Structure 1
Amino acid sequence: MRNSRKRWFAGFALTLVLGAVTAAAPAQAATGGGNNDFSCRPSAAHPDPVVLLHGTFATYYEDINFLQADLAARGYCTFSLTYGAYPQFPFVGGLAPIAESSVEIKNYVEKVRSATGAAKVDVVGHSEGGLQSLYLAKMQGISHEIGRVVAIAPPTHGADASGLLTLAYTLLGQSTWDNIVKTLGLPIFADELKDGAAIKALNNGPVAQPGVAYTIITSRYDELVTPTETSFVREPGVANQYVQDSCPVDPVGHIGEAYDLNVWHLVRNALDPANATRITVCAVGSPG
């Protein structure tokens, strides 16, 4: 009985979320948006296709999929892929080194541009996907093909996971930790944390690239990318914002940021600043 109640509650909660999205967004057919539809053609209102990037241990159909559906329903041509998956373990992505996955993402951006005829794309990423969006614009030589970057809780300067990484370094030593994660086939855990190769490369000189508009969104209660300030890029042309700047009582945590309606609103504002709106009714996101 208890498990049945839990399943019922989970289904009810998901129904509420999907209902809120449907009520808040115009019908997809009426606006011409698309969800991984390479026949989609950008509209005058939304001229740049949006490429969405998931986080570590996630896929294109889990993590940023509801946000993608929301944008598609509002008339955006949206695209996503599962990047960084190993052939021997293809069920989840975001596991390969940042630099390796970045090439895969670059090729996908080129595919989207070719199919849609768009000169530029906007890139929205969560967690590792947020880091990838920043890395892509700087390290792959295609900043002229990117209009906007919206990074949700990216470990821009390396994450400490609420002190767990510091503890691992103290107990094992950094070189031992790095060897362990490489042996396990999970180099991402050395790559995107403090002093990782990708973090060093990204922060060697300015992160923000000329001609690209950047927005970084995170939660004051993010428990994985810590200190939370590590997400932000304090450079000209970058808008840094906490969810709680708009919704002070939202307790949303790291994983929940991908599903948080307040975050979605801020993403939409960042993609279309000319039509940005204030959040008048705040949702309460998942603290985990």
Structure 2
Amino acid sequence: MPNRLRRAAAGLLAAVLLTASATTATTANAAPSSGFDNWSCKPSAAHPNPLVLLHGLGGNGPGNYSFLGPFLAEKGYCAFTLTYGQATSAIPVGGTVSIAQSSAEIQAFVQQVRQATGAAKVDIVGHSEGAFQSIYGPKVRGYAGQVGQVVALAPPTHGTTFGGLVSVGDYLGLRPLVDQVLQQFGCPACDELIVGGAAVAKLTTGPIAQPGVKYTVIASRFDALVTPHETSFIREPGVTNKYVQDTCPLDPVGHVGLAFDPTVAQLVANALDPAHASRVVCAFGPPL
């Protein structure tokens, strides 16, 4: 091969290698468009709103969403959780302090997620007390304009007749720690979430659903903690209320189990993205 052709071939090979190297570096440095508690995650055009996942009373973020968080990440979302309302940072049990204190922490976390991801709005998925907070915060703390959707799993919206809402911790194996928190610090949130409780009264005075926010409330007919079951529902325009058993009649899932049920996970994903809803394959959630 003549020297001129050798030089041209060498130059072309170098250009190809340089382009490949740059492409590899760009790909390696590109922020992921989905993930669970991955603070480098940047939402995709398909799912522009990152998810804020709110745990139940007596639980914590990583434990309560150990199933649903990764599931939603696999669906293409940037999902984030926190442990709010801890009586003491030394014990990983959340949600026991006053609803007002917890809601302030949640609002700050919403801002943190928006700032980290560059998103204008978040979608909120809440379970138990976290579901109540997902409805309470946008109305009472006034950040509805930063929320696109709310999916609330068994919120005690109108209060519950059952006082023992500290239940998620049992399922997560945190009961000794929960008992320690209750003995040392009490549970202001427990008193505020029963029928006639102060937080319930504040939420239910006037319309609950806020303009511009889409709401889905999912409950179970086998819930033994939020009773009567219908107290979860918001009977207002712009709100979809459904029982798990409307889709899967034989699913025995209880209150705590809602966060760990494959059926519920599919219902949550469909509620968040109804334009690409998939057929729900019925499963059996934990009956507690």
Name the TM-score, length of structure 2 as normaliser.
Answer: 0.81
Contact map agreement 2:68 2:260 (CA 8 A) in 1 = yes
Give the unaligned 5+ runs of structure 2.
1-29, 166-181
Q: Secondary structure at the match of 1:150?
A: strand
1:189 aligns with 2:190: yes
Q: Give the Å deviation of 1:193.
A: 1.1
Match of 1:218 in 2: 219
Alignment map for 1:52-91 (pairs within 5 Å): 52-87=53-88, 90-91=91-92
Q: Contact 2:164–2:225 (CA<8 Å) still a contact in 1?
A: no
CA distance in 2 between partners of 1:184 and 1:146 (Å): 32
**What SS does the corresponding residue of 2:63 show, helix, strand or coil?**
coil
Kept after mapping to 1: 8 A contact 2:164/2:190: no
**Aligned-partner Cα distance in 2 for 1:182–1:191:** 18
Q: In terms of mean alpha carbon deviation, does 202-211 or 67-76 score higher?
A: 67-76
**Deviation per CA, 1:31-54, whole angstroms, max 9, x where unpaired?**
831111121100011100000000
CA distance in 2, matches of 1:199, 1:182: 24
Give the aligned CA root-mean-square deviation in angstroms.
2.0
Counterpart of 1:79, as a letter, is: F
Larger Rg: 2
Match of 1:21 in 2: none
Determine whether 1:255 maps to 2:248: no
Paired residue for 2:286?
Answer: 286
Q: Measured at CA, do residues 164 and 144 of structure 1 come closer, stay the same or move farther in structure 2, by a change above 3 Å?
A: closer
Task: Verify the 8 A CA contact 1:47 1:118 in the aligned structure 2.
Answer: yes
Please report how far the alpha carbon of residue 160 of structure 1 lies from its aligned counterpart in structure 2 after TM superposition: 1.2
Question: What amino acid is the match of 2:287?
Answer: P
2:244 paired residue number: 243
Provide the TM-score with structure 1 as the length reference.
0.81
For 1:106 and 1:92, the matched residues in 2 are separated by 19
- Taking the aligned partners of 1:91 and 1:34, their CA distance within structure 2 comes to 23
Q: Distance in 1 between matches of 2:91 and 2:81?
A: 16
Amino acid of the structure 1 residue aligned with 2:53: L
Structure 1: runs of 5 or more not aligned = 1-28, 166-180
Q: What CA distance in whole angstroms lies between the structure 1 residues aligned with 2:38 and 2:140?
A: 27
Task: Supply the distance in 2 between the matched residues of 1:42 and 1:183 (Cα, whole angstroms).
Answer: 41
4+ aligned runs moved over 6 Å, structure 1: none
The one-letter amino acid of 1:284's match is F
**Corresponding residue number in structure 1 for 2:108:** 107
Q: Give the Cα separation in 1 of the matches to 2:90 and 2:157.
A: 27
- Deviation, 1:215, is 0.1
Kept in 2, the 8 Å contact 1:35–1:72? The answer is: yes
Alignment-derived partner of residue 9 in structure 2: none
Secondary structure of 1:62's counterpart equals: helix
Between 181-190 and 248-257, report the one with greater CA deviation: 181-190
Q: How many residues align?
A: 243
Overall identity of the aligned pairs, in % = 55
